[in-house]
Structure 1
Amino acid sequence: MVKVKIPVYDIKSIDRGARGNLMVQRFDSYLENHYEHLHRPHRHSFFHMVLFTAGTGTHTIDFNTYTVMPFQMYFMVPGQVHSWHFDKNIQGYVVHFEEELFTTFLSHPQYLERFTFFRGGIESAVCNLPPAAHNSMIRLFESMLQESAGDTEQNLDMIRLRLLEIFINVDRYCGHKQANPGVQHKTTLLRSYQDLIEKHYRDLRLPRQYADLLYITPNHLNALCQDLLGKTAGDLVRERILLEAKRLLTNANMTITEIAYNLNFKDNSYFNRFFRKDVGITPDEFRKSFLNP
């Protein structure tokens, strides 16, 4: 049987005419050139942002499928698996950029991390813009298209400024609002927990291990997660492990045993039980259903 591998695209492999770490295009022309490849599951090595202004379809991000609607924005971070399926007359804008576009421009190297939609979470990957924002958002994207036709550093700086304006406005429309300092403290602590999970999910599996790193009690950590997310602290760790397992399973060149070892499961049968308990099927069955739907 021929092995199917999920491709990983960088900006230059999608558009050879792209300027370094940035690409700005109208979505219909972008789709016309790349739909044959991009409607199949793939990954990016860059940040990805899309605004739809017309048309319908579906967009699947990390195994979650959304119905595409006009004036809906999508945000993705490097490494996420996604695919498109569109009806006719899809229109909008697409922007690809690498993190270096801003780290070389701003004194805050982690600036993008302040925006929830650039943290890789499914719950914040989509923003439905209110009607009052439609015209202003179109003007910002049109301005970026005009600036992308130039090749000076001033053109690039103007695109950076327009992107920052888009990010801040989207955060106002769809970001998590901070009701009071108490809620803000809880949110900051939760973000710190999520950051630690992202760094250590392969090695640290127990909430008490993360609670120690945060200098709080396991009960405090669990109450925090249930209060803000309606989930236990352990749920967040398991969800991150399962997401990585699904991503790795899209790589047909890795065996199930290799994936189990990569995720620090010393016993392959334990990995199978862990996966099946939450997903309902075995890792091998998931791989076959995804690569050969």
Structure 2
Amino acid sequence: MLDKSTFTLINPQNGNLAFKLSTFDSNSQFNEIQRLNYFSLIWIQKGKGIVTADFSDNPFEEDNLFAFSPYQPFMLASEENIEGVALHFHPEFFCIYKHQAEISANGILFNNIFKPPYVTLDESSKSTLEMVVGQIRTEIQNPELSQYELLVSYLKIFLITATRLKNQQQPDEDFLGSTDAKEPYILQNLKNYIELHFKSKHSASDYADLLNITPKALAKITKNHFNKTLTDLISERIIIEAKRELYLTNKAVKEIAFELGYEDEHYFSRFFKNNAEVSPQIYRDTVGFARGMT
């Protein structure tokens, strides 16, 4: 069993979590519904119970690895102590959508509500992930040259290992269980549509049209599932992309705005400031993991 410890990198601009590795020896931090604003990988190394995620309950046991997306509601219930490792990372630190071509985690490991939200680790995968966790623990304590690049590399290995295994264990097929509910289809398609169209379609009615559902009905489903409005979800995805462009590229704010579907740079700047609490230029000047960690 790994040492009980927590290592965290904080976004220096807003004080929020960027990347975190921790171990746990109880389910106290997961025994209520979670809606976190970052990706979570939770490896159960000892214990069993019930995981509630999206529309279903599933039993879990030792060597199950969970993968939860930002704002995906989940809870782990157990009558015994559970032990394991949790790895959290904010989309600003590493965006699985941006790196889909490299790791193919979106739709397999994350954001597939038709399949159980976990994979069962085999001995080979356990060995690989134990090595990666050890490397992350060492690197996260040493903020030296290229720390960000190394941490992202280790995270990619972790994600690719888990994604390959889940693809082997749960091949692409129609996984619906016994439910005939339409909501899982709608939510899965909504996530896909936002990812495909957030640069060009900014209104809730755009997505209602794509889903062939009334805006009122879609708003109700979105609120019930994410506890957020559809406009919030669209805005958050745009802001995540804008932040990445601001601190990873030298593109002008006007160019970034145009790429994200805003012809008026000033309107985009107001939108950004309303959602990020600082202007695009101030964000670029004061934050950037790629700069701060190298």
Shorter chain as normaliser: what TM range?
0.5 to 0.7
- Which of 38, 41, 46 matches 1:46? 38
Question: Does 2:15 align with 1:23?
Answer: no
CA distance in 2, matches of 1:147, 1:240: 44
Q: Which protein has the larger Cα radius of gyration, Structure 1 or Structure 2?
A: 1
Question: Does 2:152 align with 1:130?
Answer: no
Q: 1:194 to 1:89 in 2, by over 3 A?
A: closer
Question: Does 2:173 align with 1:195?
Answer: no
Provide, for residues 244-267 of structure 1, a one-character-per-residue CA deviation record: whole Å limited to 9, x for no partner: 24226x68xxxxxxx89x9xxxxx
Contact 1:26 1:92 in 2 (8 A): yes
CA distance in 2, matches of 1:85, 1:76: 16
Contact 2:35 2:70 in 1 (8 A): yes
* Bigger helix fraction: 1
TM-score, normalised with respect to structure 2: 0.52
Moved over 4 A (4+): 108-113, 191-194, 197-202, 239-243
Structure 1 SS opposite 2:193: helix
Contact 2:125 2:162 in 1 (8 A): no
- Give the 5 Å matches for 1:153-164: 153-164=145-156
Partner of 1:83: 75
Deviation at 1:172, TM superposition (A): 1.4
CA distance in 2, matches of 1:22, 1:205: 31
Q: 1:57 to 1:102 in 2, by over 3 A?
A: same
Question: Does 2:68 align with 1:68?
Answer: no
Partner of 1:5: none
CA distance in 1, matches of 2:69, 2:191: 15
Q: 1:43 to 1:204 in 2, by over 3 A?
A: same
Query: Quick one: which amino acid aligns to residue 246 of structure 1?
Result: N
Provide, for residues 251-291 of structure 1, a one-character-per-residue CA deviation record: whole Å limited to 9, x for no partner: 8xxxxxxx89x9xxxxxxxxxxxxxxxxxxxxxxxxxxxxx
Instruction: State percent identity of aligned pairs.
Output: 14
Deviation at 1:151, TM superposition (A): 2.3
Provide, for residues 107-136 of structure 1, a one-character-per-residue CA deviation record: whole Å limited to 9, x for no partner: x56558831222253515211123332222
Partner of 1:114: 104
Q: 1:44 to 1:134 in 2, by over 3 A?
A: same
Q: 1:42 to 1:133 in 2, by over 3 A?
A: closer
Unaligned runs of 5+ in 1: 1-14, 179-190, 211-232, 252-258, 263-293
Aligned length: 197
Query: Quick one: which amino acid aligns to residue 225 of structure 2?
Result: R
Contact 1:72 1:126 in 2 (8 A): yes
Q: 1:193 to 1:78 in 2, by over 3 A?
A: closer
Deviation at 1:43, TM superposition (A): 0.7
Q: 1:240 to 1:76 in 2, by over 3 A?
A: farther
Query: Quick one: which amino acid aligns to residue 52 of structure 1?
Result: I
Deviation at 1:63, TM superposition (A): 4.0
- Give the 5 Å matches for 1:1-293: 18-20=9-11, 21-28=18-25, 31=26, 35=28, 38-102=30-94, 108=98, 114-115=104-105, 116-119=108-111, 121-123=113-115, 125-175=117-167, 195-196=192-193, 202-203=204-205, 210=210, 243-247=221-225
Unaligned runs of 5+ in 2: 1-5, 12-17, 173-187, 233-294
Partner of 1:3: none
Partner of 1:217: none
Provide, for residues 24-52 of structure 1, a one-character-per-residue CA deviation record: whole Å limited to 9, x for no partner: 11132xx58xx2x6422131111111111
